[in-house]
Amino acid sequence: MSPVIDIRNLTKRFGDVAAVDGIDFTVESGSVTALLGANGAGKTTTIAILLGLLLPTSGTVRVLGEDMLRHRYRVLGRMNFSSPYFDLPQRLTVRQNLSVYARLYGVGDIDGRLSDLARDLDLVDLMERPFRGLSAGQKTRVMIAKAMVNEPELLLLDEPTASLDPDSADWIRGYLERYRAETGASILLASHNMAEVERLCDAVLMMRAGKITDRGSPQELIERYGRDTLEEVFLDIARGKGQGAHGKGQGAAA
Amino acid sequence: MTETHSSGAGPAAAAQRVFALVLRYVYLLKGSWPRILELAYWPSIQIVLWGFISKHFTGEVSGAIEAAGALLAAVLLWDILFRGQLGYAISFLEEMWSRNLGQLFVSPLRPHEMVLALTVISLIRTLIGVLPAALLAIPLYAFSIFELGLPLLAFFVNLMVTSWALGLMVTATLLRVGLGAESVVWMVMFLIAPVSAIYYPVSVLPDWLQPVAWALPTAHVFEGMRAVLFDGVFRFDLLAGAMLLNLFYFALGAAIFMWSFRAARQRGLLHQTGE
């Protein structure tokens, strides 16, 4: 089966600064892949390019088998996205917001889909409330509902549980796990929560200064860096320490 | 996975997306009565104010009755232009204020579909704003702009197209510069107002400024309005001039908007639409 994301030699420069610097990676169908790195590592830029919001300086981007730079409208309806850096119209109710996006994505049975989402994401009592009146956790659930409105085959999530309390964050992770198990969808996730990545992800791409510095499963990376948790691996990479610096593992990067 | 979404191609899917965005703005209006009130408030105040001013001059100056009618017609037609542009650009601004622009452009919505939705909502907002003022002038000043008949439709259509052309240029600026340029939305109309021959004929302008006025569709419309009111003649030459110029400016506005959209995608401005 061909990968759902296939990026080759992708570079994005802003003037003299290379936000993304010649990266290659693939995301396999049905997998949950994490894009990790410190602030400014290039994660959000990579996701923006994958969504067609940003044009790369060079390189190729194939999503769901299509060239995103030439035919993005063939695939945008099959993918979706959520980020705490975007919002929904504040004065519209949750139902109105989701209904607008359902129409934008060409959803057939809008009422049915909204009922399913309201039930699955515990939004039943919030549907008639304005978006602006919701708590951070409730807003995140609505944003996830918006990202699920078209039952995407590929879901891009930028810090889906940022600023949530542990209970709400755990709830969202559980929902994502169920969605993936039920639909076989692929997920690319940018996160700073390493426990989340260990729980959800099959594969991890580590970014630093616009480059992919390492990759593998969470367990492979932990062993390779001779650490006990992915958080420790993250700190090693973010601080520029090489793999194996702490003695346990000496495996080569993939 | 159940099949709930269409392929997204074709006119029916495009119409659905335009409708979705129009619906978003209608929801916004429906949910905020101060917004609706404000739409009608300024044009109504304008017509009341200018109505009394013209009533005053009608008693003082000979031949002022026609001039009073022309003044009130000019106030209403100017408001069509002004409200049309505001309706277009503010609807776009709403997306920037609510940090929703990026969400829209990662959906299957095409830029030209957004332009179409903005023109539809601009039309709706203009009618909500200007119709009460036009109706108010009938009992208050015995002036009905509807007595212009079919020429009114021609003026209305042309002014709306001009407002959309300007709206395209303003939103293109917002895309490039961000919310730091939002005051342009309110300022731009006053830039062309002095040379649009709204309340006075083009001949009042200095010779060197008259070609500038004739290069704008607005001057053709307002001169056409005066021809109907003063001479009882509908000037097809002025209508043709306005239509051709509108065609040019709308195409120019659309080209600038698309160029700005591409530049925004190159610079990463679509997901950073703040100041």
Q: Which of A86, A94, A154, A183 should one mutate to test binding to chain B, selecting the residue with the greatest count of B CBs within 10 A?
A: A86
Domains in chain A: boundaries: 5-216, 217-254
- Which residues, numbered 212 to 241 in chain A, qualify as contacts with chain B under a Cβ-Cβ cut-off of 8 Å? none
| Mean pLDDT per 10-residue section of chain B, whose length is 275 residues | 56 95 95 89 91 78 71 92 96 93 94 96 96 92 88 94 97 92 91 94 96 97 93 93 97 96 91 60
Domains in chain B: boundaries: 28-267
CB contact under 8 A, A55 and B265: yes
Q: What is the reported pTM?
A: 0.90
- Chain B residues in contact with chain A using a Cβ-Cβ cutoff of 8 Å: 1-9, 13, 16-17, 19-21, 23-24, 27-28, 31-32, 94, 98-100, 102-110, 262, 265-268, 270-271
d(CA A204, CA A35): 6
- Which residues, numbered 128 to 187 in chain A, qualify as contacts with chain B under a Cβ-Cβ cut-off of 8 Å? 130, 146, 150-151, 153, 183-185
Q: At what angle do helices A110-120 and A94-104 cross, to 10 degrees?
A: 130
- Which residues, numbered 14 to 33 in chain A, qualify as contacts with chain B under a Cβ-Cβ cut-off of 8 Å? 14
Tokens of A167: 């209970």
- Give the pLDDT score at A250: 36
CA triple B151-B154-B157, angle to 5 deg = 150
CB contact under 8 A, A87 and B99: yes
CB contact under 8 A, B108 and A113: no
CB contact under 8 A, B8 and A109: no
Q: What is the CATH number of domain A5-216?
A: 3.40.50.300
d(CA B181, CA B123): 24
CA distance B10 to chain A (A): 11
Tell me the residue ranges of DSSP E strands in A64-129: 66-67, 79-82
Residue A53 at interface with chain B, using a CB cutoff of 8 Å: yes
CB contact under 8 A, B6 and A77: yes
Listed in sequence order, the residues at least 6 apart from A147 whose beta carbon sits closer than 8 Å to its beta carbon are: A80, A81, A82, A155, A157
Question: Which residue on chain B is closest to A150 by alpha carbon?
Answer: B5
Question: Which residue on chain B is closest to A14 by alpha carbon?
Answer: B267
Listed in sequence order, the residues at least 6 apart from B241 whose beta carbon sits closer than 8 Å to its beta carbon are: B214, B217, B220
Q: Which string of DSSP letters, residue by residue, matches B107-153?
A: TT--HHHHHHHHHHHHHHHHHHHHHHHHHHHHHHHS--GGGG-HHHH
Tokens of A72: 């993005």
- Give the pLDDT score at B62: 59
Instruction: Give the total residue count for chain B.
Output: 275
**Which of A87, A103, A130 shows the shortest C-beta gap to B100?**
A87
CA distance B164 to chain A (A): 23
According to DSSP, the β-strands at A203-208 and A5-14 are unpaired
Residues from chain A that touch B21, judged by Cβ atoms under 8 A, are: 100, 104
Amino acid at position A171, single letter:
W
- Give the pLDDT score at A50: 96
Backbone angles phi, psi at A16, to 5 degrees: -85, -10
CA distance B113 to chain A (A): 11
**Which of A54, A74, A185 shows the shortest C-beta gap to B265?**
A54
Q: Do A43 and A212 meet the contact criterion of CB atoms below 8 Å apart?
A: no
CB contact under 8 A, B20 and A100: yes
Residue A22 host element (H or E): strand A17-27
Residues from chain B that touch A53, judged by Cβ atoms under 8 A, are: 102, 105-106, 265, 268, 270-271
CB contact under 8 A, A53 and B266: no
CB contact under 8 A, A77 and B4: no
The ipTM, to two decimals, is 0.88
H helices of chain B, where? 11-30, 33-60, 64-97, 101-105, 111-141, 150-177, 184-192, 210-214, 217-226, 236-267
Measured CA distances, A147 to A95, A158, B111, B196, B263 (Å): 14, 11, 20, 47, 26
d(CA B223, CA B181): 32
Burial degree of A120 (CB within 10 A; 0-12, 13-18, 19+): middle
Q: Which residues of chain A have pLDDT under 70?
A: 241-254
Q: Do B152 and B138 meet the contact criterion of CB atoms below 8 Å apart?
A: no
